[in-house]
Amino acid sequence: MNAMTQTGKHGAAGQYLGYALQPVRLCFHLLNVPSGASVSLEHLDDVAVHLVGGEVVLEQSKSALKQNPISDWAADLWKSLANWLSFMAAGEIDPATSHFRLYVTPVKAGAFATALNDAKTDADVEALVANLVKAHSKLKAAPACDADVQAFLNADAAHRAALVKNVAVVSVDADPVDPIRAIFKPTVSPLILDLVCERAIGAAKEAADRLIRAGKPAILDADAFQAEQRAFVQKNNLPGLLSSFTKQPPVEAVEQLIADRPAFVRQLELIEVGDEACVRAVSDYLRTLADISIWGESGLIFEKNLSDWDDDLIGRYEHVSAEVHDVQAGHTATVRGRIVYRRCAQLQPPLDGRVVPGHFVHGSFNALAHGLRLGWHPDYQTLLEPAT
C-alpha cells in the first residue's frame, strides 16, 4: 500500500509515550487510587489525590533527565518545600489532612531528601532542621535556592513539622509509564500494552484539558475513569480484532487535504459524491494512514499483510465493478461510479483474519484510488493524470 506507507512514523514529541510527566502521573493515580477518590491536575498542585475522608495528597513531579532535582541544594527540591509551606500559611490547605509527595524520575537520590523522607517524629524533624542549619553554615556561598531554604527555616514550626512528617520523596521508576504498564499488564496483550497505556494517558489529559478550557477545576472522578478504561480494554483486547487507537483528524487537516485535491479526491469529484462524503473519505483516509503506522510499529501487522490486503480489496472492487457494469448499464458513468464506490465502502473484509474498523476499509479503498490502482468512474484512467 504505497500511498499509505509514505506517511511518517507514528511518533511523539515528549519523553513518555509522547506525553509530559504530569499527565502520566495523573493517569497513574486515576488508575491506582481507592474507590471514591478523585484526582486533579494543576488545581492544588501539579497533581493531587482527593480521598473520600477529606485527606489530600499533593504531588510535585520532576523530570531528572538532565539534572538531579533532589540533590541537597537543588532548586526544585527547595521550591517544592517552600510552595507547600506557603500554601499552609495562606490557608489554602489544611496541615492536618494534607500529605505531600515529591516524585522524581528517573531514579535519583540525595542525602537531605533521604533524611526528609525518613523523618516521621518531632525528634526527627528537630534533628533534620539542626543538620540543615549546620550544613548551610558550612557553605562558602549562598546557594541559588537560598531564599527557599530560608523560607523553610523561618516557617511556622507547626507547619514545618506537619510538612516534614507527611512528605514522601519517591524516586524508584526509570520510566514513569512503567507503573501504568504494570496495572494493565495482567489483562492486556503485550503487543498492544503501550498502545493501551498511551490511550489511557491521552484520555486522562484530554478530560482534564476539557475542564480547564471550560474554566472549571480539572478534578476527575477515578471510578468513572477506571470503568472507561476497563470497557476499552474489554472491547479491544481481542485476538481477532485490530482496534484503532486513532481519533478523528483535525478539521484543518481534512480541509487542507481536500484543498490540495490529491488523486483520490479528484476521483470522488468525478463521480460527484458531494462535500459531506468527501470530508468523510478524507477523514477515514487520514485515520487509516495513522492506524497502519501505529499497528506496524507495534508489530501487529507487517508489509506482507498490507500487500495481501491491497490485493484482496482490488479483487473485491473488480467483482463489484463488473456487476455494476452488467446490472446498471442504463445509468450514466457518473452514477455507476457512485454505486461502485458506495458498495465498496460498505464492505467489511478482514485483514489477515482479523476484524478491522469500518473507517479502515473505506480509507484503504481511497488509498488505492490515490495510487490509481482502482477507480470509481469507468473512464477514470483517461480522465485523471497519474498521481504524483
Residue 229 forms part of a structural domain: no
pLDDT above 90 (res 84): yes
- For 330, phi then psi, to 5°, come to -75, -10
Residues 300 and 204 in one domain: no
Residue 171 forms part of a structural domain: yes
Residues 33 and 168 in one domain: yes
Residue 15 forms part of a structural domain: no
pLDDT above 80 (res 358): yes
pLDDT of 385: 67
Q: Per-residue confidence at 190, pLDDT binned at 50, 70, 90?
A: confident
pLDDT of 128: 97
- Residues with Cβ within 8 Å of residue 266, at least 6 apart in sequence: 384
Total domains in the chain come to 2
CA–CA gap between residue 91 and residue 221 (Å, rounded): 25
Question: For residue 98, what are the β-bridge partners?
Answer: 56
Residue 238 forms part of a structural domain: no
CB atoms within 10 A of CB 388: 5
Q: Per-residue confidence at 88, pLDDT binned at 50, 70, 90?
A: very high
How large is the average pLDDT for residues 104-111? 95
Residues 202 and 292 in one domain: no
- pLDDT, tens digit (0-9, with 9 covering 90-100), for 229-265: 998 888 777 767 888 888 899 999 999 999 999 999 9
Residue 110 forms part of a structural domain: yes
Residue 233 forms part of a structural domain: no
How large is the average pLDDT for residues 123-146? 96
How large is the average pLDDT for residues 210-236? 92
Return the H-helix or E-strand segment holding 85. helix 75-89
pLDDT above 60 (res 9): no
pLDDT above 80 (res 26): yes
Question: 77: which 3 cell numbers?
Answer: 527540591
pLDDT of 386: 57
Residue 4 forms part of a structural domain: no
Residue 9: C-alpha distances to residues 108, 137, 234 (Å): 33, 54, 27
- pLDDT, tens digit (0-9, with 9 covering 90-100), for 262-275: 999 999 999 999 99
Please tell me the pTM assigned to this model. Answer: 0.70
* Strand ranges across the sheet with 98-105: 167-170, 98-105, 56-63, 47-50, 38-41, 219-221
pLDDT above 50 (res 36): yes
Residue 285 forms part of a structural domain: yes
pLDDT of 207: 96
Q: Are 298 and 191 in contact (CB under 8 A)?
A: yes
**Residue 171, helix vs strand vs coil:** coil
CA–CA gap between residue 344 and residue 224 (Å, rounded): 39
Residues 207 and 125 in one domain: yes
- pLDDT, tens digit (0-9, with 9 covering 90-100), for 310-330: 999 999 999 999 999 999 888
Q: Are 197 and 17 in contact (CB under 8 A)?
A: yes
CA–CA gap between residue 52 and residue 39 (Å, rounded): 11
How large is the average pLDDT for residues 39-65? 95
Amino acid present at 8: G
Which range marks the domain in which residue 375 is found? 245-383
